[in-house]
Structure 1
Amino acid sequence: MTGFVRRPLAAAMLLAGLLVGGCMVGPDYQRPPLDVPITYKEPAAIDPAFANLDWWELFADPRLKALIEEALANNRDLGVAVARIAEAAALLRIERANQYPFLDAEAGAGRSSQSRNILPTAETESSYFFNGAASFEIDLWGKLRRSTEAARAELLGSESSARNVTISLIAAVATSYFQLLDLDDRLRIATRTLKSREDALGIIKARYEKGTVPELDVNQAEIEAADAQASVAAFDRAVRQTENALSVLVGSRPRDIERGSQLAQQAMPVEVPAGLPLTLLERRPDILAAEQQLAAETARIGVARAQRLPSLSLTGSFGYASRDLSDLVEGDSENWGIFGNFFAPIFNAGQLKAVEEAQRQRAEQARLGYEQAVLNGLRDVDDSLTGLRTSRDEHIARQRQLAAARTAARLSRARYDGGLVSYLEVLDSERSLFQAELLESETRQQQLSAVVSLYRALGGGWSPSDDQ
């Protein structure tokens, strides 16, 4: 009996160890059945290794690569996502700590004396003490383990959310960069067209002064020159605004963005293999984050269920107290205690049952959110595949249109100079050429952006093995 008395904390922990292996109430997480097609609606090649690539390097533009690296290092939204991972990891440690005993210690010393006017025999007294205390909640029904399970799922979800921010950031930088190159091209086209139209206006004015052309030709030439001048201003504004937006994406104040290759020299990946729809569940970080949210809410059902059942906690203390420091650790100075606390909810007007039901409904909401994320992902990939295919077809058509417009503009100018047609024909053909040049540049940019969009939709740019 003396040994037990001298080791009350060890005895309490032994009892807790015998009881801690209780059952776990609540459902275990299982991925819900999903209606995932075997292949995508839009035909696509299959290559399981495609998405593990740093796909932006396929464009072979060192400036684009540098901008992406700068964004990954400095973007504030990504920094917030990374901080949330650290927060979730700390919350997991908090929840996991509840599964273990808490040990505390305190010590103190003091001297005191009462008023001799009240107590004439009062003397100055010293006191010393040293105490250790332990407390432990026995996880009879798995409440603490389910809380830890939920926190772990939240951590995994925050990691997936950070990957989603990363992929979206890379895609946004690449798309903005290609838009900037497109706007550069369109600004050059508009500037060149303005110069051509101003030159034509000068020639027509000279002919008008000689009486060889009517004033209407002068007015029409002025209209076209003013239209080109307005386009120059509009594209210049768009270039500056896109530079500012791209600067913020890379975590910088608005600045001039250095370009690499022009839009026409950008490498175009020949084919982007999309893989199988089922692999999308393991690749897209937004789907993974939604699934981890479902896992967390499922685990919390067990927490809510355990709150309706009895709980048992143990506390123990052991220490020494004495008036004299010299005999503080002697046997007569010992003080100890072991206490067990059993709590069982009996009547609460259905409150705890309602808490569990509310949690089940939160889990149901998470399930529907996960299924919606899967549907959105499948749609996103199919839309991107369609966008890539049709943007290629559209760009080919715009190239044919541009070639024909250049020939028509050259022939119309020659016919006008020969006096065979009115200036209206020249205006129509040159207006068509201006629009064809702008559209050819825009569709080239759209084709590059469609490649970026597809890789983003597929969750490309990271390897699941990197997280293991």
Structure 2
Amino acid sequence: MPPAIMLAAVLGGCAVGPDFVPPPAPSVSDYVRGGDTGNTPAGEGEVQHFASGAPVPVQWWRMFGSDALDRALDAALAGNPSLQIAEANLRQADAAARAGAGVFYPQVAVQAQASRQTGTPVRMGSDASPGIFNVFTLGATVSYALDVFGGNRRAVEALAAQAEAQRYAVGAAWLTLTGTLVNTAIARAGYAAQISTTDALVKVVREQVEVTRAQVSAGTSTHASELSLLSQLGSLEATLPSLEQRLDQADHLEATLSGRFPSESEPLALSLESLMLPTELPRVLPSELVQRRPDVLAAQAELHVAAAKVGVATAAMLPSIALSASYGREGLQPGALFAAAGGVWGVAAAAFAPVFQGGTLYFGRRAAQAQFEAAQANYRQVVLAAFAQVADALRALEHDALTVDAQDRAREAARQLMSEVQANYRAGTAGYLQLLVANAQYQQASLGYIQARTQRLQDTVALFLALGGAWDGPTPTP
């Protein structure tokens, strides 16, 4: 560092290294190309509106209208080990920052010592016999390191920023927990509905097999028709174990998220029909998103840490000054500690300036600068990913609405066809096999609708998560 800059730093009391300035919000006004829509298309008669200025509810999952889901979230937030780990790490980081701030105060120590020793008068030019005596000492020392170039300030600044990053890590853990549990509950409801519908479809196909088998025996149908139905039946039956396994995994995950063992937890058995689709959704401006998402804020705090560490590494290359003072009492007997001749004192000022360290300090600063550049790039990457997630969720909700609407129309058409065939069967103008085929078509259409409905609910969850939820975590206690 040039002498003029060093002198300015000393006189101005400033800290070396870059002063951290939060990155500006992105200048984009929309999340998706072509502009953000104000609402989704109608899907099953339901339109989701994006209300400008509407806040993201803290307990956003309550918008799904399930008391059982609300209770499960309350239990998970109270018992989840991962969230407890993050909160403990926050308390640790906050305590470390408070401990680091002690460097700004004088360091005071007291000491008391009693010793028995021997001394030889030879060192004093005397040939007297050595003597044994006691020495009692009582004293105090005060020392203070002058933070001339702000290295200590930058170090404490880094600790405070690390605590801030951990605070947002708690937010990320909170958001991950709530989002994962709600998604798991929705997925389980979808699996249960698919299992029920698939069971009904298997029964229908089995009846078709029996009817066709009878027709083959009577010579009114071909054996190939029976084999085709048997193949279809086997394929349907093969889907059931997979669906049941996914349902079991959802139960196990829900128990784990709540801090319970799977064997001791009752399943969160919601029906898909009991979950409401939130129709009034918040709209967060792109300029506000970076101030809401815990992962973006954590990346910003890590950038602050890296900036402060550049200052620490820079200050390590510059001179340091420490002041100290001591006062004590000494005596050969405890009662003589406060005698007139028993006082000892001292004051000192020490300066240390690194001259040659084999490149350790220079390259340490280069490493800190490279870390700062990496933190800048990481922040940009996190922001880009955040905007992409919001854009994905917005587009997904548009596509989900169209998919649900098409699947609902297909299901309704299949239901009407089945009703007509049932009427014709009762009138004797349609055969039982035709009735079974219509029923199978309806069940297949129902499966498509269940999957589309489940995906629409889960993509709504994805939007809440992409917007950063509304986490406002606890303030660490002293």
TM superposition score normalised by structure 2: 0.84
Query: Within 2, Cα distance between the matches of 1:144 and 1:388?
Result: 51
Query: Within 2, Cα distance between the matches of 1:201 and 1:24?
Result: 84
Relative distance call for 1:412 and 1:226 in structure 2 (3 A) is: farther
* Residue 471 (structure 2) pairs with residue 462 (structure 1): yes
Counterpart of 2:459 in structure 1 is 450
Counterpart of 1:11 in structure 2 is none
Native 8 Å contact 2:330 2:337 kept in 1: yes
Deviates more, 1:297-306 or 1:252-261: 252-261
- CA offsets, 1:275-311, max 9 Å, x none? 2111101100100001111111111221111112111
Native 8 Å contact 2:171 2:472 kept in 1: no
AA matched with 2:13: G
Counterpart of 1:97 in structure 2 is 102
Native 8 Å contact 1:61 1:260 kept in 2: no
Counterpart of 1:55 in structure 2 is 60
Deviates more, 1:20-29 or 1:52-61: 20-29
* Residue 196 (structure 2) pairs with residue 193 (structure 1): no
* Residue 22 (structure 2) pairs with residue 28 (structure 1): no
Relative distance call for 1:394 and 1:277 in structure 2 (3 A) is: same
Native 8 Å contact 2:25 2:287 kept in 1: no
Native 8 Å contact 1:52 1:462 kept in 2: no
**Structure 2: 5+ residue stretches without partners:** 1-9, 39-49, 120-126
Deviates more, 1:193-202 or 1:322-331: 193-202
- Give the Å deviation of 1:54: 1.3
Query: Within 1, Cα distance between the matches of 2:110 and 2:228?
Result: 94
Q: What secondary structure is seen at the aligned counterpart in 2 of 1:252?
A: coil
Counterpart of 1:288 in structure 2 is 297
- Give the Å deviation of 1:344: 1.3
Q: What secondary structure is seen at the aligned counterpart in 2 of 1:305?
A: helix
Counterpart of 1:6 in structure 2 is none
**Structure 1: 5+ residue stretches without partners:** 1-18
Query: Within 1, Cα distance between the matches of 2:128 and 2:355?
Result: 55
Among 18, 29, 43, the alignment partner of 1:38 is 29
Counterpart of 2:41 in structure 1 is none
AA matched with 2:366: E
Relative distance call for 1:230 and 1:430 in structure 2 (3 A) is: farther
Query: Within 2, Cα distance between the matches of 1:173 and 1:259?
Result: 10
Tell me the percent identity: 26
Query: Within 1, Cα distance between the matches of 2:475 and 2:101?
Result: 25
Query: Within 2, Cα distance between the matches of 1:49 and 1:410?
Result: 45
Query: Within 1, Cα distance between the matches of 2:440 and 2:325?
Result: 90
Q: What secondary structure is seen at the aligned counterpart in 2 of 1:339?
A: strand
- Give the Å deviation of 1:52: 4.0
- Give the Å deviation of 1:94: 2.8
Deviates more, 1:374-383 or 1:197-206: 197-206
Relative distance call for 1:172 and 1:456 in structure 2 (3 A) is: same
Among 312, 317, 326, the alignment partner of 1:317 is 326
Relative distance call for 1:343 and 1:123 in structure 2 (3 A) is: closer
Q: What secondary structure is seen at the aligned counterpart in 2 of 1:283?
A: coil
Relative distance call for 1:465 and 1:126 in structure 2 (3 A) is: closer
Relative distance call for 1:48 and 1:20 in structure 2 (3 A) is: farther
Q: Number of aligned residue pairs: give it.
A: 446
Native 8 Å contact 2:204 2:440 kept in 1: no
Query: Within 1, Cα distance between the matches of 2:11 and 2:104?
Result: 9
- Give the Å deviation of 1:48: 3.3
- Give the Å deviation of 1:20: 11
Counterpart of 1:66 in structure 2 is 71
- Give the Å deviation of 1:200: 3.6
Counterpart of 1:15 in structure 2 is none
Query: Within 1, Cα distance between the matches of 2:155 and 2:247?
Result: 51
- Give the Å deviation of 1:122: 6.6
Native 8 Å contact 2:157 2:308 kept in 1: yes
* Residue 156 (structure 2) pairs with residue 148 (structure 1): yes
Query: Within 1, Cα distance between the matches of 2:272 and 2:432?
Result: 36
Native 8 Å contact 1:20 1:139 kept in 2: no
- Give the Å deviation of 1:51: 1.4
Q: What secondary structure is seen at the aligned counterpart in 2 of 1:179?
A: helix
Relative distance call for 1:166 and 1:82 in structure 2 (3 A) is: same
- Give the Å deviation of 1:80: 1.9
Native 8 Å contact 1:21 1:139 kept in 2: no
Q: What secondary structure is seen at the aligned counterpart in 2 of 1:453?
A: helix
- Give the Å deviation of 1:409: 5.0
Query: Within 1, Cα distance between the matches of 2:11 and 2:182?
Result: 54
Relative distance call for 1:465 and 1:351 in structure 2 (3 A) is: closer
* Residue 147 (structure 2) pairs with residue 139 (structure 1): yes
Counterpart of 1:250 in structure 2 is 258
Query: Within 2, Cα distance between the matches of 1:124 and 1:346?
Result: 46
- CA offsets, 1:375-394, max 9 Å, x none? 11111111111111211221
Relative distance call for 1:90 and 1:20 in structure 2 (3 A) is: farther
Deviates more, 1:249-258 or 1:382-391: 249-258
Deviates more, 1:227-236 or 1:99-108: 227-236
Native 8 Å contact 1:62 1:260 kept in 2: no
Query: Within 1, Cα distance between the matches of 2:353 and 2:12?
Result: 19
Q: CA RMSD in A?
A: 3.1
